[in-house]
Amino acid sequence: MRAYYNIRTDPDLGLGFAALRRVVCGYNACKEQLGMPWLPRVNKYEQPRYVANNRCILWQSYEGANDWKIFQLEPVNEEEETGARDSIRCVLNALEARMSLMIRDGEVGAVGTIDEAVMGYYIVKWLSEPYALQVDAEGISGIVTAGAMVVDGLYFNRVQRAPYWYTQSEERSIIEVKHVLRSGLHLEEISATNKLPRACNRLEATRKNAGKITMQEHETIMEEAERRDRLEYNDDEDNESEEEESDDELAESDVDSE
């Protein structure tokens, strides 16, 4: 680590990873490389943003010293672990705040889920602007507590035997904004160039105005879902730790009183 003088953190790399290189290079080819888009479903070690860049005019001189290397970083003690968790909370809160500004009543979005019956997300039409929930309420995946930032939504059903095709349902629910992966989606309508698969019930799907998520949109949603997974932490572990600390403090108090 001490041999690397240029350290770069990147949300796309995910929690606990950073890009390092021995020397800082400001030539155009190296600066342009850092602006390259993150490719969905491509391993972080193979992303064009951080691969060896032989277009740099100092490539021969540096002999790889300005190449990025991806390292995994881990906390070494409880204090660093606590600091890492606090940082994660800040990032997740910022993502939620940003998403709340992107949601528009009437638009369509994607909501992350662990439901194995779907491809990792639900398609939902927003029925409101985001708002703070005033009292506990039932959501699609359980009770949502008061104070959470939520949005009203109308869920879409998947068209059986027609991957990436959806029809609007009558199922309404409240959705926590922190689970929203994307907003402003466009579902492609049925057309001569966008036909329903023969294996599905095309008559029913057509009657329900089925729409299709493009493969590019699907890949983008899945990449965002994976990025969120890399940032997630287990709240239960924090609660268990706090309970254990409380139990220890009570035990110490009992000993002192004796």
Q: Can you tell me the mean pLDDT for 111-120?
A: 84
Q: Mean pLDDT over residues 122-135, rounded?
A: 97
Residue 249, beta-bridge partner list: none
- 11-15, 97-101, 142-146: lowest mean pLDDT where? 11-15
Q: Supply the mean pLDDT for the chain.
A: 87
Which pTM does this prediction carry?
A: 0.74
pLDDT in tens, 71-114: 998 888 999 888 888 888 888 899 999 999 999 999 999 999 98
- Distance of CA 183 to CAs 16, 23, 74, 139, 248, Å? 27, 39, 33, 19, 46
3-class SS at 216?
helix
The yes-or-no verdict on residue 35 having pLDDT over 90 is yes
d(CA 24, CA 107): 44
**SS3 labels along 44-57:** HHHCCCCCCCCCCC
d(CA 115, CA 178): 17
For the segment 135-158, the average pLDDT, to the nearest whole number, is 93
Q: Give tens-digit pLDDT for 175-223.
A: 999 999 999 999 999 999 999 999 999 999 999 999 999 998 998 899 8
Residue 187, Cβ neighbours under 10 Å: how many?
A: 20
